[in-house]
Structure formats: C-alpha cells, structure tokens
Amino acid sequence: MGNVTPIDAARPRVLEFFAGIGLARMGLEAAGFRVAWANDYEPDKKAMYDAQFGESVGHTFSLGDIGKVPAADLPRDAALAWASSPCTDLSLAGSRAGLAGAQSGTFWHFVRLLKELEDDRPPVVVLENVVGLATSHGGDDLTAAIRAFNELDYSVDVLSIDARRFLPQSRPRLFLVGAKNPPADVPEPNSELRPDWLQWVFGDESLRTHRAQVPTPPAPKTQGLGRVIEDMPLTDERWWDSARTSAFVSSLSSTQSERLAELKRGSGVKYRTAYRRTRNGVAVWEVRPDDVSGCLRTARGGSSKQAVVRLGNKRLQVRWMTPREYARLMGADDYDLSKARTNQALFGFGDAVAVPAVSWLAENYLMPLVRGQMAPGESVKEAAVNG
C-alpha cells in the first residue's frame, strides 16, 4: 500500500485569485479540480471561506492585497489559475500605470504573477467578470485583457454564461479562457455561448483567439424562485409592518401596481423579487414580473439589497431576502452560515460567481482542456500581440 497515489494527488491543482467566499472553489472541486492556493483581501470573506472549508492539508489561503503577493509563494505545479477579479475593475486599458490602486490594478497584478511564474505558469487560465467588460471603453478593456494573456502565450476564448441556465437567478457573466495549448477553433453560427455582441473579438486579427467546441448549456430557466424561498410564518418579525409595506406599494408605478394586484387576487401563493432604485431623484421599488430572481448584488448602503414579495389569497407581504435564499440562488444551498452576519453573507454572495456556472464550465471545457482531451488546433491564428 506504500506506493498507492492519494486521490487528491490525481486532481489538477488550482490557484484561486480573488477567492471571495469560495464559490468558484465549490464549482471547480465539484468538477474534479483541487484548489491548492487562494487569495482575497477582505477578512469578512475569508472568515466565511474558512467556516465553509476549514483547514486542509495542501491548501493555503493568503489574506491581503494581491499587489503584495510574491510569485515565490505560489505553488509551481498548478494546472489552472482562476481569477474572479472585482467587477469594479473594468478599466483595464491604459491602467498599467496605476498598479498601486486598491482595485483599478488588481487584474494587472494577476497578470504580473503569471508572468513571474515563467515556465511554471499554469497551462490554463480563466478570468471571470461582468459582461460589461465586453463593452467597457468601447471594447478596449476586453481587448487589453486578451492581449495581456496573449503576451503570456495564451490563446483566449471568450464566453458568456448566465447563471439562469442553472438557477432561478438572472446573472450573466463573461469568462475568458486562456490556453497555452488551445483546442481547434470551431466557429459556431448563432452560438449561445458566444452571441453576436462577442463576435468582434474573434474577428480582431491583432488578437490570438480560439472557439472551443463545447456542448450547448441548458436553456435559461423561466421559473423556480418560489422553490428557493425560505418557509417562514406570516407572523415572523422579518416581514415588514403595514406602514413599511404601504410605503412599498405606494412607490410602485401604475403598471407594476396592476400586475401585483392581479397576482394578489389569484389563487395560491407566488413570490417575486424587488429592488429599490432611484428614478428622477426619487426612491422607488421595481418588482420583477417573472418567477426568477434579479441579479444578486452586494448589499452596501442598503439600496441594492433584494426584497422578497409574497403574493396570493388577496394578501401582499414584503421582507428582505435572507442569507440562505442568497446562498440557494448562487447554487450553494448548504453553505455554512452559522458564523456569518447577515450583511456579511449578503455581500459575500452578491459579489461571487454562481457555483453551477463554474462547475458546468469546468466539466465541459476546463477539465477536458487540462487533460488534453480536446482536439488541438491545427493552425491556431497567430496575432500581432504587441499591437
């Protein structure tokens, strides 16, 4: 038995940058990867990460500014580097001079560490961010990110995946997959993963890109919110009182008021989600019309927290969405919330990537790519990566 290889040793190792509360780790490890190293700069997120995963042999969490992380601290045998860089970090083009910035330079520090790893850099890298990256500064920011990977000898694929394909939450995200040994470039008409608004990337002759042949993901969900809502008594103190509920109703537009009135008159109980927004300087509530949650966001200042609206049997009640509901909408149903404060949890989940979106990408693309199971490109497009 002395020469038996431990199961974990056979699992490709991952470097997890901007780890947050570890939802990317959950998705990657569900697909067979093993996260060996992680970094984040927020103690509250690390506290939730530790509560969920605990300490384990072969895993290190580096708490602090990524700009102060030396490449010497990183494991040298990782197969994948995953980066869910802050969504406020969209301004990539021209930001090289601002590497000292708390957020504006985070992506470039990720690139710096990959560069300093030299021959030990992982063969596959992933950058996950909001879809706004594709249009930020007229596409210049996305171009700069791809070119930065090209300069490190990665060909880049760009995909758009909405968590709504797996969960009742509208949450589109952009995934850049960089590969040292890219698969064959397979153009796909009317692609669901690379829609028309992304096609300009693959037509840019100055970039080295590829389009891997992967399965079509599940169709977007049109219902399911009601199944993730926590069952609680109507007398629970978390439901808003009559005065606050009346203020909520009075802020609605006539169209939304009519819609909710019809739902309230119907038989059975239905749930909807609502956000508070500022329109013409006035705070109003807007209710989503379908049985799917709006995109969960960070709960800073209270204005972006999501509320639950309960309708049916001639009754309407409203309350804030709970941490457990946030967890379920991110595909982390059993996440350990025993030590997390409410706003700590809401912020952690609102600033994360949905678990099943990661696991789907990992199972259908990243693992086959790492294992060398994708057909290699016969003539990968060479680009003028220096401009």
Any idea of the CA torsion for 362, 66, 90, 179, to the nearest 10 degrees? -40
Among 30, 71, 87, 93, the active-site one is 87
Spatial distance between the Cα atoms of 228 and 168, rounded to a whole number of angstroms: 9
Distances (CA, A) of 62 to 46, 115, 125: 9, 19, 19
Query: Measuring CA to CA, which residue among 327, 355, 353, 356 is closest to residue 340?
Result: 327
Residue 145 corresponds to which tokens in the numbers above?
């990110």
Spatial distance between the Cα atoms of 230 and 322, rounded to a whole number of angstroms: 8
160: CB partners within 8 A, 6+ apart? 131, 134, 172, 173, 174, 175, 193, 194, 195, 198
Distances (CA, A) of 354 to 42, 90, 216, 225: 19, 20, 18, 15
Is residue 87 flagged as an active site residue? Answer: yes
Regarding beta strands 13-17 and 34-40, do their DSSP bridges make them parallel or antiparallel, or are they unpaired? Answer: parallel
Give the DSSP per-residue string, 19-41: -TTSHHHHHHHHTT-EEEEEEES
Spatial distance between the Cα atoms of 192 and 196, rounded to a whole number of angstroms: 9
83: β partners = 17, 127
330: CB partners within 8 A, 6+ apart? 23, 163, 167, 169, 296, 349, 352, 354, 355
Rg over alpha carbons for the chain, rounded to the nearest Å, is: 22
Place of tokens 């912020």: 347
Active site residues: 87
